[in-house]
Amino acid sequence: MINEEDLIKESFVQKSWNEIKSNDSWAIFKIMSEFVNGYEKMGRIGPCVSIFGSARVQPDNPYYKLTEEIAFKISKAGYGIISGGGPGIMEAANKGAHIGQGASVGLNIDLPFEKNHNPYIDRDKNLQFDYFFVRKVMFVKYSQGFVVMPGGFGTLDELFEAITLIQTKKIGKFPIILVGSSFWSGLIDWIKTTLRDEYTMISPEDMNLIKIVDSADEVVEIIDTFYKKYNLSPNF
């Protein structure tokens, strides 16, 4: 027999579930608005390269300085720079683009280490997102290449999503460049020996999707060589 207390609990649960469903439905409009705003702004910028890396890297870190140099040289080669808009590697990327007088784009999201956008983003190219997945669509859709500096889980997430999308032919191939052989070599060795050789979880040719370098000139050379072969055109 259901008592009054059980009826109250059931009513509360049902009400809460109905509110959740209602909120989910209304969230669709927020998601749509982020896509529309992102498409409208990003579609006017032109060919860009995304640079990823840790928000925790300080300006005196060698990778900060290397990122700044890479972004500067990419800008001089005629590409804009897209970053996650926060501090650390992202700030260095936007700073290099700013100094190189290239487009400097920031795709911001409120995270524990990214409370505010960095000051080197072009004012008209500073976008704010609430949804990670919408933000990641912008990175992939409007990038002609990914330059991946040392970073944590977020950097790895963006790296492997791009590799997966290219591997499964959901998007066209573009350069994915890991910078810092001492940082990335352990991961790459594990991918080769464990994923590829021991368990055959990936194909041998999948390793061709990524390059590892240590200098800004190597990054620019890989991007330029790729687009001389495939002809540079935006992904949109």
The pLDDT score that the predictor gives to residue 22 is 59
Comparing CA positions, the residue from 72, 29, 33 lying closest to residue 49 is: 72
Q: Which residues contact 213 (CB under 8 A, 6 or more apart)?
A: 177, 178, 179, 181, 219, 222
Phi, psi at residue 15, to the nearest 5°? Answer: -65, -45
Can you count the helices (H) and strands (E) in the chain?
7, 7
Torsion over CA: 158, 140, 113, 184 (sign): positive
Q: Within the chain, which residues score under 50 in pLDDT?
A: 7, 12-13, 234, 236
pLDDT score of 84:
97
The Cα–Cα gap between 95 and 211 comes to 24
154: Cβ contacts below 8 Å, ≥ 6 apart:
52, 84, 111
**pTM for this predicted structure:** 0.88
Asked if residue 162 lies in contact with residue 235, where contact means CB atoms within 8 angstroms, the answer is: no
Residue 145: other Cβ atoms inside 10 A? 21
Element at 49 (helix H, strand E): strand 48-52
CB neighbourhood size of 206 (10 A): 15
Q: Dihedral of the CA atoms 214, 217, 219, 222 (nearest 10)?
A: -120
> 101-115: per-residue pLDDT in tens?
999 999 999 877 666
pLDDT in tens, 44-60: 999 999 999 999 999 99
Report the Cα–Cα distance between both ends of the chain, in Å, rounded.
62
